[in-house]
């Protein structure tokens, strides 16, 4: 069976599992994988990654966790960084915001947002999918978290400032001129986010609780600083990663008319299978980090206490031991062993697995169905692909689409 190569449409790709009903090439972002972390112990196998992520003998070491832990500013660590029973209790308390039933209750809100975005696109005749996906991802996450009472517009822009400054654990030392400038800029961004978005939401919910995360944290007697930190971790994590996934999924579907048709005419389960397979090949966060608390054995090799462990999710997700034959090919019907989730490790695993996984898939599906159903919508420009050192994953910018009307106006 041969199929078009997604990077070179004129070439053919024979590296496809014979039983795969599709076979639409492989990853579109693989060249933006980032460099391995010097001194870290790499893990590239599925079993090794699962063992590490499910272990109680490691602690979170990514997303600036160790810098925050060393600062001593918070009496309670945010859920993204907490460990042990404290973390388990926090996850149990907040799980209700991400259950399938709760996500279903968000659907009218998500659908209305998608309808507005698509209507604007059709009216204008062209636009960037990554801009639309940012607006959608920020608005949906804001509803779940409770960031709905901002004093000024521009929440999307303020959120993006937290992931555009490079790796927080590799920035210039604060005693240097560059480091001091960076520190001041970070503080200004954080203060703006707090005063314009977080504090107004807290004040509204202190007067009257709502069914969202900030109200829950107020009930738990969290300080304003602790609420701000949770908004940063829950909010920005959900907003930024969902934006990139919607964009990369749209890119795959726009490049392949056959895959687009199968997706649009499939059942919900079939559409979700396609999205999960795209995510397996395109994990938005490609590297996770843990610090060994004690001596460990990973993949049969010793790992000493204190070692930084780097989980390479791109490699983990194409481990032939779980992904089977031709693991780098896009195949929504790919059989996986029992106990292995369809995106493999793209949402993480263990007690820190992404709580918003189901919401992200439903949100993406709702948007893409409404976008791609328009037959005269075409891919006008492919995006640039870069690597974001804060998120440790790809960034897609400039995925431009247009309608027949938009192209006609452009030709005048």
- Per the model's pLDDT, the better-predicted residue between 6 and 401 turns out to be 401
> Pick from 261, 287, 205, 298: which is nearest to 32 by CA?
287
- For 17-25+39-410, the fitting CATH number among 2.60.40.420, 1.10.3210.10, 1.10.630.10, 3.90.1150.10 is 1.10.630.10
Give the start-to-end residue ranges of the domains of the chain. 17-25+39-410
Q: Residue 36 gets which letter from DSSP?
A: P
What phi and psi values does residue 298 have, to the nearest 5 degrees? -125, 125
pLDDT grade, residue 180 (50/70/90)?
A: very low
The values of phi and psi at residue 346, to 5°, are -60, -30
The position carrying tokens 């007697």 is 221
Model confidence over 42-82: pLDDT tens digits? 999 999 999 999 999 999 887 665 565 655 556 676 666 66
| Distance in angstroms (rounded) separating the CA atoms of residues 382 and 29 | 12
Judged by DSSP in three states, 8 sits in coil
DSSP state letter for 125:
S
Tell me what pLDDT residue 236 has.
72
296-316 tens-digit pLDDT: 999 999 999 999 999 999 999
Q: Are 127 and 401 in contact (CB under 8 A)?
A: yes
The CA distance from 4 to 155, in Å, is 40
- Model confidence band, residue 323 (pLDDT cutoffs 50, 70, 90): very high
* pLDDT tens for each residue of 68-118: 565 555 667 666 666 777 777 788 888 888 888 999 999 999 999 999 999
Length of the chain (residues): 412
* Higher local confidence (pLDDT), 163 or 322: 322
Residue 175 scores a pLDDT above 60: no
Decide if 304 contacts 292 (C-beta within 8 A).
Answer: yes
Return the pLDDT at 10. Answer: 40
> Does pTM surpass 0.85?
yes
Tell me the pairing of strands 378-381 and 12-13. unpaired
CA distance 319 to 323: 6
How many other β-carbons are positioned within 10 Å of the β-carbon of residue 77?
A: 19
């Amino acid at each position: 069976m041969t199929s078009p190569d997604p990077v070179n449409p004129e070439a053919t790709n024979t590296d496809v599992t014979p039983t795969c009903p599709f076979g639409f090439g492989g990853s579109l972002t693989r060249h933006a994988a980032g460099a391995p972390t010097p001194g870290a112990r790499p893990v590239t196998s599925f079993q090794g990654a699962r063992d590490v992520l499910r272990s109680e003998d490691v602690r979170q070491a990514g997303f600036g966790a160790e810098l925050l832990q060393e600062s001593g500013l918070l009496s309670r660590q945010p859920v993204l960084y907490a460990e042990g029973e404290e973390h388990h209790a926090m996850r149990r308390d907040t799980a209700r915001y991400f259950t399938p039933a709760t996500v279903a209750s968000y659907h009218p809100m998500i659908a209305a947002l998608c309808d507005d975005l698509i209507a604007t696109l059709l009216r204008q005749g062209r636009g960037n999918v990554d801009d639309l996906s940012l607006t959608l991802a920020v608005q949906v996450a804001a509803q779940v978290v409770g960031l709905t009472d901002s004093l000024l517009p521009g929440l999307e822009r303020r959120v993006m400032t937290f992931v555009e400054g490079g790796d927080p654990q590799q920035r210039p030392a604060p005693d240097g001129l560059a480091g001091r400038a960076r520190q001041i800029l970070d503080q200004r961004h954080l203060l703006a986010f707090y005063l314009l978005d977080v504090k107004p939401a807290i004040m509204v919910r202190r007067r009257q609780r709502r069914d969202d995360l900030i109200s829950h944290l107020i009930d738990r007697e969290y300080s304003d600083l602790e609420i701000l930190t949770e908004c940063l971790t829950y909010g920005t994590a959900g907003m930024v990663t969902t934006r990139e996934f919607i964009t990369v999924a749209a890119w795959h579907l726009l490049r392949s008319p056959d895959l687009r048709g199968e997706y649009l005419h499939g059942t919900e389960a079939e559409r979700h299978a396609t999205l999960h397979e795209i995510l397996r090949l395109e994990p938005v966060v490609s590297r996770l980090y843990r610090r060994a608390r004690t001596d460990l054995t990973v993949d049969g090799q010793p790992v000493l206490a204190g070692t930084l462990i780097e989980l390479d999710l791109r490699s983990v997700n194409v481990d032939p031991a779980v992904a089977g034959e031709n693991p780098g090919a896009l195949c929504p019907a790919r059989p996986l062993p029992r106990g292995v989730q369809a995106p493999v490790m793209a949402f993480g695993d263990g007690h820190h697995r992404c709580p918003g996984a189901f919401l992200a898939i439903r949100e993406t599906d709702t948007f893409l169905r409404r976008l791609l159903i328009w037959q005269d919508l075409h891919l006008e420009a492919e995006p640039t692909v870069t690597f974001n050192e804060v998120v440790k994953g790809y960034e897609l910018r400039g995925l431009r689409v247009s309608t027949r009307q938009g192209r006609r106006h452009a030709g005048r």
